Chain A
Amino acid sequence: DTGVSQDPRHKITKRGQNVTFRCDPISEHNRLYWYRQTLGQGPEFLTYFQNEAQLEKSRLLSDRFSAERPKGSFSTLEIQRTEQGDSAMYLCASGPGSNYGYTFGSGTRLTVV
């Protein structure tokens, strides 16, 4: 069990560019969550997968955001046409089938310049 891995750790991009982040959850966890955290705030829910199915999406997830979990293992979060307001820490978490807590990755810090 190597924990939840996120890649890259940091990403600086120009406004208007597309970016993609990857999350590798704990292998036996079937639940996967994406959160966004801005400075001085708690994590805000973006989307949730159970296995490969995307079951819930927050209203924060505009049409520029898309997430996938193609084989129920790793997940990607893509942001198209980035805006300065997208600058944040993007956190991924995974959890087992029962509700015994979540394991978070170290996050990807996105800076849009």
Chain B
Amino acid sequence: AQSVTQLDSQVPVFEEAPVELRCNYSSSVSVYLFWYVQYPNQGLQLLLKYLSGSTLVESINGFEAEFNKSQTSFHLRKPSVHISDTAEYFCAVSPLAGGSYIPTFGRGTSLIVHP
């Protein structure tokens, strides 16, 4: 079984400031890792994913996340946030094998960007 802990329920930040959203996971098997973003009254959109290879993964809109196996973490970072980044962010893991690949989500972190 897997579990995901998102340590901060809310992260307020000023526009153009850097931000880090923390994610730690627990699993008895190897996992894939994901970050999803959810805007109000919408479904989840995949932001980035770590499957294998380089431990630093990037999204097209400036976010990046680094897989740290020893610390079982997959923190999300952005060097300079924009008002439009205000949203709910979910970290998720799914088992590497088994066929169902059912993702387990954290409780989410609400990123609030102030002007």
Contacts and interface: CB of A to CB of B under 8 A. Distances in A.
Size class of A's contact patch? 20 to 34
A103 B94 contact: no
B46 A102 contact: yes
A21 interface: no
A43 B100 contact: no
Interface residues of B, number: 28
Contact of A42 (B46, B96, B108): B108
A55 B100 contact: yes
A85 interface: no
A42 B102 contact: no
Contacts, number: 63
Interface in A72-113: 91, 93, 95, 99-107, 109
B1 to A, nearest CB: 11
A101 B107 contact: no
A58 B66 CA distance: 30
A91 B101 contact: no
Contacts of A43: 44, 90, 105
Nearest to B48: A101
Contact of B42 (A41, A45, A107): A107
Interface of B: 4, 6, 9, 32, 34, 36, 41-46, 49, 51, 90, 92, 94, 96, 99-108
